[in-house]
Amino acid sequence: MSKKISNQSKNGSGGVSRKGNNRPSADLSGLPVAKNEEYEAEIVGIGHEGEGVGRVNGFTLFIQGALPGERVLVKVLKLKKQYGYAKLLKILRPSPDRIAAPCPIYSQCGGCQLQHLSYEAQLRFKRQLVVDNLERIGKLKVAESEADASEKGILVHPTLGMDDPWRYRNKAQVPIGFEAANADREGGLIGGFYAQGSHRIIDMDECLIQQENNDLVVAEVKRIARELGIRAYNEETHKGLLRHVVARYGFNTGDIMVVLITNGESMPHKDELVGLLRQAIPGLKSICQNVNKERTNVIFGDKTNVLWGDDVIYDTIGDIRFAISARSFYQVNPVQTEVLYSKALDFAGLSGEETVIDAYCGIGTISLFLAQRARQVYGVEIVGEAIDDARRNALLNGIRNVQFEVGAAEVVIPEWRRQGIAPDVIVVDPPRKGCDAALLATILEMRPARVVYVSCNPSTLARDLRVLEDGGYSTVEVQPVDMFPLTVHVESVASLIYKGIVRIN
């Protein structure tokens, strides 16, 4: 039974007196916990933001830093009718999976959430996250073992992790701001990730999930900007120049791009800035300025200028070479991207004779992998700049059996159907919000033999699989892939085949 710890009895002896004169509002008066009180809680799971899910007298509390299996002392900070938030005060019984987080600012920074959990436990958690969503949201049955999978549910494989889950990110997007006390001094410029749940920047010199060259870029831009008196952007007043620094690194080429996002088109001391950056950063191939004058949290604006060097850098995934521009969407973990796309290719079951449609094709990353084994691939993407990159990447690799078109997938694919294009396989890789309902309807109308669903969000994956299952498809297996170690995010690839049995709810 969970204990409330009184002001006089904080040693777990079971005291029940309240501290202070806090009185809950009328609609919260029936709750078994009270704001600002201390309790012992049992941690039963991990939430979507990496927080521990605790139970106190049957009531749910989200507790940052707590892990499943632990018993902890907490202080309730905020309450709602169904759940609340609490601060971790003391770990009374630690989890065997708890480790010391190596990052010195981990407790402040919101960039990653699971450094205090062993990597093996992270992989188990991510598989279970996929399973829970499939069962709870998709109402899909998950097989208990591979032997039961064909008749008794979907096979969800163990998460494919990394041999070394550190320093994996090839792109850093770092907000620039200033120390409040030094707002009017050129030395006040800082850069780092936001504190969890806020827009307060935690200044940093090193991030353990970034490739080391990205750390170098950010550190040198901050140093040089201070030297040149370039002012940091203030999102409250909409004044100041430098909003973000974006660093891109080609893992297999060593190419480096620096993108400076600015609140205006002028760039003070441009020639000196370029010269100092070139001197400080080995491997630098491109320096770009992206202009974003809007009052927005969106990082990039519409206009990009090349200050020096090329407009792209290059990298490879497998045998495919990619040109990457300042705003290109390119997977941030190239090692696991190859694992993810190889699994998608396996699930597509291609023999060389198939027609494949790649919805949400981006810069053509999956499309070009598929084209190596398919007769013809059609890719569609709503972002015109991405399609320009996709076409350039096809030419770069001499791949001719692929065609790209700009537009919404739910609009373009029906038009392809009217032109007589009948896909054997449709691959979807949607954003976190999942597939557009009209696209799912189009898939059900076209009835390809296979659908391969690449997902970055288990909840929308489960929702969309339910629609496809009700339309005659059977989800055979799902492979979680750890694209973002030390964070709560997980990618998955699902394999579906058309059975032709439509469920009517």
Instruction: Provide the annotated active-site residues.
Output: 456
Burial 73-110 (b: 16+ CB within 10 A, else e): bbbbeebeeeebbbebeebeeebebbeebebebbebbe
- Of the CA atoms within 13 Å of residue 441, those in its CB half-sphere come to 6
Burial 230-263 (b: 16+ CB within 10 A, else e): bbbbebeeeebbbbbbbbbbbbebebbbbbbbbb
- Three-state secondary-structure class, residue 418: helix
Please give the full DSSP string across 13-51, using - where no structure is assigned: S---PPPTT----GGGTT-SS-TT-EEEEEEEEE-TTS-
What's the rounded Cα separation, in Å, for the pair 227 and 210?
25
Residue type at position 456 = C
**What is the length of the chain?**
505
- Three-state secondary-structure class, residue 436: coil
- Three-state secondary-structure class, residue 84: strand
Distance set, CA 213 to CA 172, 194, 209, 361, 468 (Å): 10, 21, 12, 28, 43
**If we measure between CA atoms, which residue out of 57, 84, 86, 58 comes closest to residue 72?**
86
What tokens does 133 get? Answer: 């969503």
**If we measure between CA atoms, which residue out of 94, 105, 41 comes closest to residue 67?**
94
φ, ψ of residue 285 in degrees (nearest 5)? -115, -20
**If we measure between CA atoms, which residue out of 247, 222, 221, 243 comes closest to residue 232?**
243
Q: Which residues contact 237 (CB under 8 A, 6 or more apart)?
A: none
- Chain position carrying tokens 């509002």: 25
No. of helices (H) and no. of strands (E), the chain: 10, 23
Residue type at position 303 = K
Q: Which residues contact 271 (CB under 8 A, 6 or more apart)?
A: none
Radius of gyration of the chain (CA): 25
Return the number of other C-beta atoms located less than 10 Å from residue 502's C-beta.
Answer: 11
What tokens does 350 get? Answer: 């291609």
φ, ψ of residue 149 in degrees (nearest 5)? -65, -40
